[in-house]
Amino acid sequence: MSEFAINTKDMARAAEKLRAGDRVLLSGTVYTARDAAHKRICAMLDRGEKPPFAIDGATVYYAGPTPTPPGLPIGSCGPTTSARMDAFTPRLLDLGLKGMVGKGDRSREVADAIRRNRAVYLCAVGGAGALAAKCVVSLKVIAFDDLGCESVKKLEIKNFPLLVAVDCHGGNLFEAAK
């Protein structure tokens, strides 16, 4: 196992080097999106509309941050259970999504799509939303404001500690643990 400092703009190249179990300090741009936002994004794609952010090369963080306290860029922003997005994820991976951050195991279909598209799934520590918030430099709501905490937000992060859970070479920490 190795440790890597990665910027999200280099995720496509970095994914090739990462192996399940590697530790990552992630910096750059991530987009928050949970199941309601994923459903809307896929509906937009079905209608031939542009999604709220460029999927190709993007990294999505499955999180719904709490309201922002005065003087801070974000409230608590721990990861959401990633399996809730599994119905939508293979399609987004096929459109070029390169990184996902969440918690918990993924379906066989998602693991196959990660491998097929040379992407990576990173896990954050569940229950540590205050720790994750310390890595957020800025937040901007970019879509679906009516969803409240589940709106799509553009976050700038710095040195977010993560673990590679599913890599593009077939490595999967959850399968290895079974």
Please identify which of the residues 38, 98, 103, 106 carries the catalytic annotation.
38
Helix (H) or strand (E) run with residue 32 in it: strand 23-32
38 noted as active-site residue: yes
Closest CA to 165 of 79, 58, 92: 79
Pairwise CA distance, residues 26 & 10, whole Å = 10
Taking the CA atoms of residue 138, residue 141, residue 142 and residue 147 in that order, the dihedral angle to the nearest 10 degrees is 150
Residue found under tokens 């997005």: 85
Distance (Å) of CA 3 to CA 24, 37, 63, 120, 164 = 6, 31, 24, 15, 10
Catalytic residues: 38
